[in-house]
Structure 1
């Protein structure tokens, strides 16, 4: 008898009117048979809410939350994650697309893995532009996505995790206390905290499509004298301070120094010099511990 544990897909929408229907359809068109879909709109200023409501007329068993004010990704996600009934959770932006066998491959990997403490599985994806045209693969032939105990590699930026193609056990997310709602973005903090105590497994398959937009979150880190850029970089500083507290070895401290040096470049590009100074002080503290 086949085992199909419930998977909760949390789809977050913010001004995604042009893409949200394609994203939602990619969830209901999965080959995997046991899926719970929860949608939240974070107070969009476009027609996203109306488009979602129209789509829901033909999909009655889907939960929908329309925020009455903008709460941000971390708070909005946590609201739905705590409501989700699934054993596994996917965080899906409403401009991204799951390929039909994405969830089936992720669940098979969890069920057949040799890792005893597996918390997250992730795979490769195709990057597309605003029109859906091919942009490139997230992982190329020169990349080596890691499996197992990857904490030091995540902290040191010698490996990167593809969030769009990832799935996490809900029990792990609960033990971590869900997303840190004090942060402006969630993925790096989640990877670091999860990899401290849980294993990851890479799936060498294309599982999803990630839309690369000119106004996407990642594009704001380097904008000069920008309030959103500052919030993102403040969050990065907070994440690295937390990583220092999680570190257990000198090698992990050395890995964190490499990450700090990389983030310094972004702070300089964004002209966040006060944050740069704080990051410099953090590096000194980490270096003293690495000796």
Structure 2
């Protein structure tokens, strides 16, 4: 339709040569047609660029940004958004696949919920061979979520952690993204920080449908959360920075209690990894949070 709002999809690629074409096709083949696609390659070491350039021969008008060095997803996405025009935004990794009707469902939901800052759904988790592993949110035989609390996702539920986020299925409202000045480029990952900052002022709406196929790779960012590596340490330190930011954003006892629950989780996680310096910093944040709770009560 002529009046359908423009949706910008930023597809970021790093060593995703076997998967990027399928990811790009999932954008082009949406039943929703008013889409702007921007592709960013973050200095891939495989033949991702060649695959993308070959695919672009059929779509020469699509913008392709080739970074000489890997500047990270956060900075890449922000830079691509600065060149985009869409009223709604999707952050798509080049190994993930959008469902054919996903964008239509998200736009319909936004138009019915003008106060929403983010619309998200479930995700089908697949492996390197496209085989189903599981669903991000557990589902019944009708593919409907078992835990209905997802419909009430808000600042506190995101902060305390658990079964409350499905970042890969999210669509952002551009005005909100710009209000928040985009992703924090000092962090190793983007979603937890952005969702928390967004949820302070804006609603989150859950659609009970799988909106994306999320590919789990052995070398993916997700796997680094559970491995001992320099990158893993940066991810865990970024989480600590996000929790410090939440401490400053909190205004209610319940929010500090949610933060305390997340701190406990991070303490256990980093103790197992023997990240002693980070454990000490988390423990200090724990003491400050507990003090806030006592004062407010």
TM bin (shorter chain): over 0.9
- C-alpha displacement of 1:264: 1.6
Structure 2 distance, partners of 1:3, 1:272, is 53
Q: How does 1:70-81 map to 2 (within 5 A)?
A: 70-81=70-81
Contact 2:137–2:163 at 8 Å: present in 1 too?
Answer: no
- Mind listing any 5+ residue stretches in structure 2 that lack a counterpart? 140-145
Corresponding residue SS for 2:120 = strand
Query: Residues 145 and 209 from structure 1, CA distance in 2 versus in 1: closer, same or farther, beyond 3 angstroms?
Result: farther
Give the one of 119, 122, 125 matched to 1:121: 119
Is 1:166 aligned with 2:170? yes
Per-residue CA distance 1:233-279 (angstroms, 9 max, x = gap): 11011000000111010110001000111112221232211101100
Corresponding residue SS for 2:21 = helix
Corresponding residue SS for 1:160 = coil
- C-alpha displacement of 1:144: 3.1
TM-score (norm 1): 0.96
- Mind listing any 5+ residue stretches in structure 1 that lack a counterpart? none
1:35 aligns with 35
Structure 1 distance, partners of 2:100, 2:162, is 30
Structure 1 distance, partners of 2:14, 2:135, is 25
Q: How does 1:1-291 map to 2 (within 5 A)?
A: 3-113=3-113, 116-141=114-139, 142-147=146-151, 150-224=154-228, 226-291=229-294
2:143 aligns with none
Per-residue CA distance 1:76-121 (angstroms, 9 max, x = gap): 11110111100000000000000100100000011123xx521000
Residues matched between the structures, number: 288
Corresponding residue SS for 2:167 = coil
User: What do you get for the CA RMSD once the two structures are aligned?
Assistant: 1.4
Corresponding residue SS for 1:146 = helix
Contact 2:153–2:164 at 8 Å: present in 1 too?
Answer: no
Corresponding residue SS for 1:189 = helix
